[in-house]
Chain A
Amino acid sequence: MDWKGYTLIYVVLFVFATIQAVVEFVGLVDSAYWLAFGIIMVLSVVKAVGVAAYYQHLISEPRSVTYMILGGTLGAIALTGAAAYSIV
């Protein structure tokens, strides 16, 4: 990827971060908490995937590297999700 591609990614990341803050500033977190929660977390996931895919070049590595990271991520999600569910 050349500098133009990197710049495009950067702009998208910047805008998404701003949207996350705007969601709070317009009061959505207070009025519709779980909707705001959903929007914000989805944006975070999209940003993370963007950084991993293009800045860390996962897109051009063998897929096995992605699977390895996904493995760790799944473990962390299993721990968080199941533990939290166990006490609700």
Chain B
Amino acid sequence: MPTTSSLQIGADDLAFPRLNALSYWLYLFSGILVGVSFFQGSTFAGGWTMYAPLNTPAYIPGEGLGATSVVLALIMFTAAVTMGSVNFLTTMYRMRAEGLRMRDIPIFSLSINLTVWMMLFAFAALLAALMILASDHVIGTTYFQFANDGSTLGTSAENPGASLLWAHLFWFFGHPEVYIVFFPALGAMAEIFQTFTGRRLVGRKWFIISMVLVAIQSFIVWMHHMFLTGINLPIKTIFMATTIGISLPFDLMVFSLIYTMAKGRVRFKTPFLFSLGALLLFILGGITGVFLGAIVLDYQFRGTYWVVAHFHYVMFGGATALIGGLYYWYPKMTGKMYDEFLGKVHFATFFVGFNLLYFPMFIAWETPRRVFEYPADLQIWHNLSTVGGFILGASMLVMFYNLFVSIWRGEDAGESPWKYASTAEWAVGSPPKLENFPGLPSYASGSLEFLDDEEVAERTGKPPGAGVAADGGTASDGGTARNIRAVTAPATPTAAAHETGGEGHASHASFWPFLVSLGGFIAFLGLSGVRTGSPVYVGMAAVGGLATVGSLVGMTRESFHAPEMAIAERWPFEGVEKMKLGMWTFLASDVVLFGGFIGSYAFVRVAYGWSDWHHDLIPAEHVTMPGLINTYLLLTSSFLVVLAMVAAKREWRGATTASLAGTFALGVGFLVNKGIEWNHLFHIHSEMFPNGWTLSTNIGSSTFYLTTGLHGAHVVVGLVICGYMTIRAWNGAYQGDDKPIEYFGLYWHFVDIVWLFLFPLFYIL
């Protein structure tokens, strides 16, 4: 998918190749950590929703170290996803071929773009949930459990919001996640419809608007997963309305696909059959989902086979489109054609098997989900389902055989085996070369061309940015069906043409991303068992932590250059260099991360009783002054960062160094002040809190230490960067080039802004 969409937008690589390697290795090691968790006694057994309080150590049988490992592995995975999202978005907004406006990028790439936007925000909320859960596991906060010391089970009066908090955080992620899985399938479906009807999507603009609407609306429907919890009726009603509302843009997309079929001349090749099948399955899945979105019906349908059937019609329906996509892009990936007859056999058996498996579940909907007993008169339907399941499974064997054998026996596919395929990936050889294109792609003339070195040099010799003909492009993915091979015929690959602007293809070979991930893996494995006090676990946590930090420093020091594209389409982020855009994108997800933490605090406080909170849970020794002092320290440090920028621009080396050193000192002061304050609170002996006010004392102390602790961790990261930059400034760096200071400042000021809210929330109100 990444390859297809980078081909479709005309990029030769991702914006940050090394970050891509890092997210890959983190992803791999997160999987290994889940694997290891099976050998730590027992692993996590709470299902994919991981509902509280059963996800906390007090409710997990045995030591539960494997469960902790899984939570930590998911954090690692989520970190990888976030890095990937930042990378993808920066690529799509900074590296599109000239003339390729956002609205013109192929529909599949657009679906990926929206998927990644949803990932950026949804996974940040999941990260918040997982970090809080991990903290409950590892350092003993009490967000998700009623128990206060891990051994005795307390009452819900101590933390009445516990289990609903998890449901909110999880489903705020969980519903967008469903669309994150589904959207690429939707994009593939639309792409394949266009190619095999030989027609541009009818109402393409409305199709795109609908996709954007769905992506946004997906964040305001999450409580339809909570209709049977104790949330109040007004909010349920609102979420019923938003849920049914989200089906409207989907309806538009469905009609668009149907009209495209009606207006074009359909060729029933295998990829199209699967896409059409997916559309039919999705229509049925969508309609049955509207039933579930109605509160009253959900009371009946929840936890039954109705849900199972609906879910599979939607999600497996999506997978059906992806199978179509696999056939569609198989010639591009391998350079060979699959066997069309076997493909059709696969579709026929697949479609029959699918419906035989899942449709009877609607009829036998009274069967309880996840329970193997059901009324005897429903047995015939279950028998039918079983037969369907075997047919469906067997049909996939036909595909594996077909695709495997075709690698050797298939006919050569050439650049494009599809008559009306009009997107850029079909304009290059199959399989595509590592550098993707024979030259710098451009749509400036209205159709796809590849610029060689000389043309690029000539164009970029003009004032930067001025040469980019932003309005010159026309629809790239086929305003009307046309044969891309004819279009691209003049673009003969010239020797060495892939080198854009004299820069070679960035080397991806770096050991550091691997070492960072390995260190993280060891550290997390250690963290899973530190609560036992075992020296092995504590040692692993320490060694792994050091290895991670050391490798990160090594990665920073390694010289690495991935050049920006010489000429590219960059709306709506023209003028925001890729590092800056990457930083802002990351900060947008960090906003949601902190939002999740602050939101959790607000939620459990409301659940407890907003006004009683301060009286019942917070000691008198917790005063405003340390917070106010820290506010002054951070504000001043932010001020010094902007002064450092001014000094660097004017090439005042001493002032640059002094300002950065001042920032560093103030940040250290912030942490020292916080350390003194925490130490004091840990050891108070008052009547209310005879044993101090620690992380596990109550939900008030848990939220205070963890939220300000997350912020403190951000300060520590900032200080590492700031210290490094101070030394570089001392050695003469940044003079006349304040950009690195500006990028660091974006982060530092953000940390400052977060504190501007934590201070009143945790010290005054």
Measured CB to CB, the residues of A under 8 A from B are 1-3, 6-7, 9-10, 13-14, 17-18, 20-21, 23-25, 29, 33, 36-37, 40-41, 44, 47-48, 51-52, 55-57, 61-65, 68-69, 71-73, 75-80, 82-88
- Stretch from B142-150, B327-335, B596-604, B724-732 contacting the other chain: B596-604
Residues of chain A within 8 A (CB-CB) of B193 are none
- Stretch from B48-56, B348-356, B569-577 contacting the other chain: B569-577
Q: Is the CB of A51 within 8 A of B575?
A: no
Per-position binary interface string of chain B over residues 745-765, scored 1 when its CB falls under 8 Å from any chain A CB and 0 otherwise: 110011011001101100011
Q: Is the CB of B235 within 8 A of A86?
A: yes
A2 CB to closest chain B CB (Å) equals 7
Q: Is the CB of B628 within 8 A of A72?
A: no
- Give CA–CA (A20, B631) in the complex, Å: 11
Closest to B591 in A: A72
The answer, among B232, B632, B643, for a CB contact under 8 Å with A86, is B232
**Residue among A25, A29, A65, A87 with max Cβ neighbours from chain B (10 Å):** A87
Residues of chain B within 8 A (CB-CB) of A23 are 764
- Give CA–CA (A78, B603) in the complex, Å: 12
Q: Is the CB of A87 within 8 A of B632?
A: no
- Give CA–CA (A29, B618) in the complex, Å: 15
Residues of chain A within 8 A (CB-CB) of B746 are 56
For the complex, would chain A's binding face be called helix, strand, loop or mixed by DSSP majority? helix
Q: Is the CB of A29 within 8 A of B635?
A: no
Residues of chain A within 8 A (CB-CB) of B603 are 80, 83-84, 87
The answer, among A20, A36, A48, for a CB contact under 8 Å with B753, is A48
Q: Is the CB of A14 within 8 A of B576?
A: no
Q: Is the CB of A80 within 8 A of B595?
A: yes
Closest to A64 in B: B572
Residues of chain A within 8 A (CB-CB) of B125 are 75, 79
Closest to A5 in B: B642
19 more A-B contacts (CB under 8 A) besides A40-B760, A83-B165, A83-B602?
Answer: A1-B642, A6-B643, A7-B639, A10-B635, A10-B638, A17-B628, A21-B624, A23-B764, A55-B642, A69-B587, A72-B124, A73-B595, A75-B125, A76-B598, A79-B125, A84-B606, A86-B226, A87-B164, A87-B606
Per-position binary interface string of chain B over residues 123-144, scored 1 when its CB falls under 8 Å from any chain A CB and 0 otherwise: 0110000000000000000000
Q: Is the CB of B595 within 8 A of A87?
A: no
**Residue among A68, A77, A79 with max Cβ neighbours from chain B (10 Å):** A79
Closest to B173 in A: A79
Q: Is the CB of B596 within 8 A of A51?
A: no
Closest to B636 in A: A10
- Give CA–CA (A77, B764) in the complex, Å: 21
- Give CA–CA (A14, B633) in the complex, Å: 10
Q: Is the CB of B219 within 8 A of A78?
A: yes
B201 CB to closest chain A CB (Å) equals 26
Which residues of B in the span 559-581 have a Cβ within 8 Å of any Cβ on A? 572-576, 581
The answer, among A7, A29, A57, A83, for a CB contact under 8 Å with B764, is A29
The answer, among B220, B230, B596, B642, for a CB contact under 8 Å with A76, is B596
Given A14-B632, A17-B635, A41-B760: A55 and B745 within 8 A (CB)? yes
Q: Is B584 an interface residue (CB 8 A)?
A: yes
Closest to B649 in A: A2
Residues of chain B within 8 A (CB-CB) of A14 are 632, 635
Residues of chain B within 8 A (CB-CB) of A36 are 764-765
Q: Is B364 an interface residue (CB 8 A)?
A: no
B765 CB to closest chain A CB (Å) equals 6
Given A10-B635, A37-B765: A75 and B606 within 8 A (CB)? no
Closest to A63 in B: B572
Q: Number of A-B pairs whose CB atoms are under 8 Å?
A: 164
Q: Is the CB of B232 within 8 A of A68?
A: no
- Give CA–CA (A77, B323) in the complex, Å: 38
Given A6-B646, A72-B121, A76-B591: A51 and B752 within 8 A (CB)? yes
Residues of chain A within 8 A (CB-CB) of B278 are none
Q: Is the CB of B121 within 8 A of A75?
A: yes
A79 CB to closest chain B CB (Å) equals 5
Q: Is the CB of B595 within 8 A of A72?
A: yes
The answer, among B231, B232, B573, B749, for a CB contact under 8 Å with A56, is B749
- Give CA–CA (A48, B231) in the complex, Å: 32
- Give CA–CA (A65, B574) in the complex, Å: 10
- Give CA–CA (A29, B635) in the complex, Å: 24
Q: Is B641 an interface residue (CB 8 A)?
A: yes
Residues of chain B within 8 A (CB-CB) of A29 are 764-765
The answer, among B219, B598, B607, B632, for a CB contact under 8 Å with A75, is B219
Closest to A6 in B: B642
Q: Is the CB of B232 within 8 A of A88?
A: yes
Q: Is the CB of B756 within 8 A of A47?
A: yes
Q: Is B521 an interface residue (CB 8 A)?
A: no
Given A21-B624, A51-B638, A84-B602: A79 and B585 within 8 A (CB)? no
Residues of chain B within 8 A (CB-CB) of A87 are 161, 164, 230-232, 603, 606-607
Q: Is the CB of A68 within 8 A of B632?
A: no
Q: Is the CB of A52 within 8 A of B235?
A: no
The answer, among A9, A17, A72, for a CB contact under 8 Å with B592, is A72
Residues of chain A within 8 A (CB-CB) of B594 are 76
Residues of chain A within 8 A (CB-CB) of B121 are 71-72, 75
Q: Is B588 an interface residue (CB 8 A)?
A: yes
- Give CA–CA (A3, B606) in the complex, Å: 43
Q: Is the CB of B589 within 8 A of A72?
A: yes
The answer, among A6, A51, A78, for a CB contact under 8 Å with B756, is A51
Pull 23 A–B residue pairs with CB atoms less than 8 Å apart, ordered by A: A6-B639, A6-B642, A14-B632, A14-B635, A20-B759, A24-B624, A25-B624, A36-B764, A47-B753, A55-B642, A55-B745, A56-B750, A65-B573, A72-B588, A78-B219, A79-B172, A82-B220, A84-B599, A86-B164, A86-B168, A86-B226, A86-B235, A87-B161
Q: Is the CB of B588 within 8 A of A80?
A: no
- Give CA–CA (A13, B598) in the complex, Å: 22
- Give CA–CA (A52, B591) in the complex, Å: 13
- Give CA–CA (A82, B581) in the complex, Å: 30
Residues of chain A within 8 A (CB-CB) of B581 are 65
- Give CA–CA (A24, B761) in the complex, Å: 12
Q: Is the CB of B576 within 8 A of A65?
A: yes
The answer, among B168, B230, B238, B572, for a CB contact under 8 Å with A79, is B168
Q: Is the CB of B595 within 8 A of A48?
A: no
Q: Is B742 an interface residue (CB 8 A)?
A: yes
Residues of chain A within 8 A (CB-CB) of B230 are 87
- Give CA–CA (A84, B238) in the complex, Å: 14
Q: Is the CB of A62 within 8 A of B575?
A: yes
A49 CB to closest chain B CB (Å) equals 9
Q: Is the CB of A2 within 8 A of B765?
A: no
Per-position binary interface string of chain B over residues 670-692, scored 1 when its CB falls under 8 Å from any chain A CB and 0 otherwise: 00000000000000000000000
**Residue among B756, B757, B759 with max Cβ neighbours from chain A (10 Å):** B756
Q: Is the CB of B753 within 8 A of A83?
A: no
B228 CB to closest chain A CB (Å) equals 13
Q: Is the CB of B639 within 8 A of A65?
A: no
- Give CA–CA (A23, B756) in the complex, Å: 15
Q: Is the CB of A62 within 8 A of B631?
A: no
Residues of chain B within 8 A (CB-CB) of A85 are 235
Per-position binary interface string of chain B over residues 428-468, scored 1 when its CB falls under 8 Å from any chain A CB and 0 otherwise: 00000000000000000000000000000000000000000
Which residues of B in the span 234-281 have a Cβ within 8 Å of any Cβ on A? 235, 238
Q: Is B152 an interface residue (CB 8 A)?
A: no
Given A3-B643, A6-B643, A84-B606: A68 and B231 within 8 A (CB)? no
Residues of chain B within 8 A (CB-CB) of A2 are 646
Residues of chain A within 8 A (CB-CB) of B315 are none
Residues of chain A within 8 A (CB-CB) of B164 are 83, 86-87
